[in-house]
Structure 1
């Protein structure tokens, strides 16, 4: 296994990780920002107020993007396992 192959596998793994986590993390970040702006505007200082909207927003994005995320990780895993014989030699 050459160093180029190792770097390619690491690159693909990081890319898939970013594509899997990106939509969920961006949604949680945006929702947290909106709730914080709402809290600042209304002067409500309740820490648990941001928790429920974040969970609901992330769940909604997970429902909407779930099939795509599942297809992405499945294709990556199949490709990785099918390339194992080529990596050994």
Structure 2
């Protein structure tokens, strides 16, 4: 395996990981920010008020995007297995 191929594999895997994590984390961050603004405006300091909406939004994101995310991961794994013979030799 040449260094260029290794760099390409690492780059592709990091890009896929970044996309998948971003799709799960960003909605939770946005909801967390909105809940924090609401808590600051009303001076309610309840821990579950900030946790539950983020959890629900993350679960909804997994529900809506899960099939697409698994498809992308499967495509990546299949491409790695298809290129395995050329990577080793």
Are residues 1:75 and 2:75 paired?
yes
SS in 2 for 1:83: helix
Query: Which residue of structure 2 lines up, in the alignment, with residue 3 of structure 1?
Result: 3
RMSD over aligned Cα atoms: 0.8
Q: Displaced runs of 4+ in structure 1, greater than 6 A?
A: none
SS in 2 for 1:4: helix
Give 1:23-38 correspondences, 5 Å limit. Answer: 23-38=23-38
5+ residue gaps in structure 1? none
TM superposition score normalised by structure 1 = 0.95
Are residues 1:61 and 2:61 paired?
yes
Query: Which residue of structure 1 lines up, in the alignment, with residue 51 of structure 2?
Result: 51
What's the CA shift string for 1:26-65, capped at 9, x where partnerless? Answer: 0111011011011011100122211110010011111111
Query: Which residue of structure 2 lines up, in the alignment, with residue 15 of structure 1?
Result: 15
Aligned residue pair count: 89
TM superposition score normalised by structure 2 = 0.95
